[in-house]
Amino acid sequence: MKIRPLYDRVVVRRKEEEETTAGGILLPGSAKEKPNQGEVIAIGEGKVLENGELRPLAVKVGDRVVFGQYAGSNTIEVDGEKLIIMGESEIFAIVE
Amino acid sequence: MKIRPLYDRVVVRRKEEEETTAGGILLPGSAKEKPNQGEVIAIGEGKVLENGELRPLAVKVGDRVVFGQYAGSNTIEVDGEKLIIMGESEIFAIVE
Amino acid sequence: MKIRPLYDRVVVRRKEEEETTAGGILLPGSAKEKPNQGEVIAIGEGKVLENGELRPLAVKVGDRVVFGQYAGSNTIEVDGEKLIIMGESEIFAIVE
Amino acid sequence: MKIRPLYDRVVVRRKEEEETTAGGILLPGSAKEKPNQGEVIAIGEGKVLENGELRPLAVKVGDRVVFGQYAGSNTIEVDGEKLIIMGESEIFAIVE
Amino acid sequence: MKIRPLYDRVVVRRKEEEETTAGGILLPGSAKEKPNQGEVIAIGEGKVLENGELRPLAVKVGDRVVFGQYAGSNTIEVDGEKLIIMGESEIFAIVE
Amino acid sequence: MKIRPLYDRVVVRRKEEEETTAGGILLPGSAKEKPNQGEVIAIGEGKVLENGELRPLAVKVGDRVVFGQYAGSNTIEVDGEKLIIMGESEIFAIVE
Amino acid sequence: MKIRPLYDRVVVRRKEEEETTAGGILLPGSAKEKPNQGEVIAIGEGKVLENGELRPLAVKVGDRVVFGQYAGSNTIEVDGEKLIIMGESEIFAIVE
């Protein structure tokens, strides 16, 4: 199965980290404050400008990105894997 | 009966899934977190740009689409079948 | 008496349906979830674009339309009949 | 005394109706649901477009208009008469 | 002391009226429903359009104006006199 | 130390007044209703227009200005002095 | 590891100050009112204008900047160091 995001939307595979404190206790999601990270899996064709033209996105497939902590609420299961769909404006930066 | 959505609106037939947990219990809608899926049944002529021109939609009839979990609130019954009407901006991606 | 809507406004005669459940109980309005339907009685000259020009509406008099469930709040009595006035953006689709 | 509305504002003399039910009981304003009606007394020179030009209004002095139920909150007393001032966008239609 | 409003701002001297009911009781401000009136004391150079140009205001110094009941909240004391500063969009009409 | 505001931002030194009532009681800030005053210490290069050009500000260094009562919430300490940073749109007028 | 902010986003290293009162008590963050300061570590390529072009940012790497007190909520850990990501519009001024 393949997923094609519309316009300025981006599909991201969230990077799962060991979420343990120094003492080894698993932290619930609500205790994390830092932005989320992940890898770009698919991108849309571009953002629609006011004149109707498409502006290609700045991120590309394979980029490792940092996104806002509220960007991960829309998920989709593709081939048994849970992915996130977000607008490119919810992505803060590319990490290299 | 035929339905013609206006402008950037799209009519979608929601994909009904077996909503059972591992133990076979039927989950109520509010317990689901993943975006909804469905098939595009009809599309509008396009989104009106600021200069008044129409920009054709990116989805087409027959596309299998993923949409936001709050996109399904406007429904219409056509020939005894319950369909959803949403703006194209509520559609996240096309699944192939 | 004749009514001429301004700009992108549309006057609609609501289709009154038998509102009964299988057991014949009359449902109050708040229990209905499906969009409302009706017939277009009069339309405005068009939507004002940012450059000041008018863009003619997509609906025309006689169209049977589906509109949002909150679109029916502005009513007017014309020749003893209660009609609805709404913006064209509150109309989802034309039914044929 | 003469009143000159600015830009897209319109001065309306509200039509006072007999507000009685079948049994002759006077209804308080909050029990009315239908839009208000009135006669246009004065109009502004036009709406300012984004490029700074004025677009003349669609209503003219003498028009009988229907307006939203919340449009009547700004009133002014001119020569002892209470008139309403509203934006033209609060006027739904012209009644002929 | 002289005051020069910026852009589309206007300085108004509020007209103080005898606020008495038929029986001579002084009404507190919150009991008044009609728009406020006053005289234009100073005006800005104009409203900044999207292209950066200035559009001169429609009111001029000396105009007697009617403004919204919430427009009077920003005041300034000039030479011991309390004046109001508001945007021109808060002025409804010029009274002649 | 020198401070260079970005774009349409302005640094203002608030004018400190004797805040005493007739009886000599010091009034807390919340009891004041009049707009604040101060002197412009530094200005940005201009406001960014939609086309990306800069529009120079209307205020200049040394101007005595009146600003809204909620404009003073962003402060910075420069060389031991507490200054206010605000957008030029929060400035109502220049006092001469 | 290198971080490339998207569009008009800026990465800032917050300046940590001695947060002590006269008596030497450490103040919690919520007791501070002044804007935050820091050094620009990385900047995006520019802000996207309505016509799709990029407008380069006004800040550059190495600038010492003052930003709003709510701008520091999005952080990222780069090589063990906690940095802040914000839009350039949250930066008030450059300090020299």
Spans of all domains in chain F: 9-16+29-95
In whole angstroms, what separates CA F42 from the centre of its chain? 10
What predicted TM-score, i.e. pTM, was given to this entire model?
0.84
pLDDT per position as a tens digit, E48-85: 999 999 999 999 999 999 998 888 788 888 888 989 99
pLDDT per position as a tens digit, B26-79: 544 444 544 589 999 999 999 999 999 999 999 999 999 999 888 878 888 888
Q: Is the dihedral of CA E59, E63, E68, E74 positive or negative?
A: positive
Q: Do A66 and G76 touch (CB under 8 A)?
A: yes
- E35 to chain D, any CB pair closer than 8 A? The answer is yes
CA distance E65 to chain D (A): 9
| Optimal mutation site among E2, E4, E6, interface F, most CBs of chain F within 10 A | E6
Chain F residues touching E52 at Cβ < 8 A = 49, 53, 55
- E6 to chain F, any CB pair closer than 8 A? The answer is yes
pLDDT per position as a tens digit, C9-27: 999 999 876 555 555 555 4
pLDDT per position as a tens digit, C21-71: 555 555 444 445 445 899 999 999 999 999 999 999 999 999 999 998 888
Q: Are A54 and A62 in contact (CB under 8 A)?
A: no
Going by the DSSP 8-state scheme, the letter that residue F20 receives in this structure is: B
In whole angstroms, what separates CA D91 from the centre of its chain? 7
| Optimal mutation site among B66, B89, B94, interface A, most CBs of chain A within 10 A | B66
Q: Do D35 and C11 touch (CB under 8 A)?
A: no
CA distance G17 to chain F (A): 13
Confirm or reject CATH 2.60.40.10 for domain A9-16+29-95, answering yes or no. no
Q: What is the ipTM of this complex?
A: 0.83
* Cβ-based contacts under 8 A for chains D and E: 58
Chain B residues touching C70 at Cβ < 8 A = none
pLDDT by position in tens, chain G (length 96): 799 999 999 999 998 764 555 555 554 444 454 458 999 999 999 999 999 999 999 999 999 999 988 887 888 888 889 899 999 999 999 998
Lowest mean pLDDT among A42-51, B7-16, C15-24, F19-28: F19-28
Q: How far apart are CA A69 and CA A72, in angstroms?
A: 7
Q: How far apart are CA C78 and CA C84, in angstroms?
A: 10
Q: Are A11 and A88 in contact (CB under 8 A)?
A: no
* Cβ-based contacts under 8 A for chains A and G: 58
Residue G85, token pair as written in the block: 């990501």
Q: Which of C34, C53, C88 sits opposite B77 (nearest CB)?
A: C34
Residue D4 has pLDDT above 90, yes or no: yes
Q: Which of F2, F42, F75 sits opposite G34 (nearest CB)?
A: F75
Stretch F59-74: mean pLDDT: 91
